Amino acid sequence: MAAGAAQPREAVVAVGTSEQPHTIQLWHSILPRVRAQFMRLGGYHSSPSDIVDEHTQLLDALKTWALPEIHKLLDEHVSGAARRLLARKDAAGA
């Protein structure tokens, strides 16, 4: 993951938790794990446009403040994508 790739995520965490300063500290504690996951699974996306499309959906949902939709998309983004990419990795025999 490029160094700048974590910055938009940190901005989302900061906006959503402005009154919870420890949340940014927690984010910093898991950031190395997030980066490692990106490096390990990033090549298993079908195409770079899939990554862009997924993030566009997330940003559009964040703009609406529709919490149920945001939660659904974030769960898919964090957990669902990892499961899907791990399955592709396993299928590739890597």
- Which of 1, 9, 5, 2 has the alpha carbon at shortest distance from 36? 1
Residue 19 has pLDDT above 80, yes or no: no
N-to-C CA span, the chain: 20
- pTM (whole model) above 0.75: no
Contact by Cβ (8 Å): 64, 49: no
- 17 backbone dihedrals φ, ψ, rounded to 5°: -135, 35
Residue 36 has pLDDT above 60, yes or no: yes
Mean pLDDT value across the chain: 79
Q: Which pLDDT score is estimated for 1?
A: 45
Look at residue 26 in the predicted model and tell me its pLDDT.
Answer: 82
Q: Are 39 and 1 in contact (CB under 8 A)?
A: yes
**Distance (Å, whole) CA 37 – CA 42:** 8
Total number of domains constituting the chain: 1
Domain, as residue range, for 86: 3-91
Average pLDDT over residues 4-24: 63
Residue pair 69/61 in contact by the 8 Å Cβ criterion: yes
The confidence score (pLDDT) of residue 83 equals: 87
Look at residue 37 in the predicted model and tell me its pLDDT.
Answer: 85
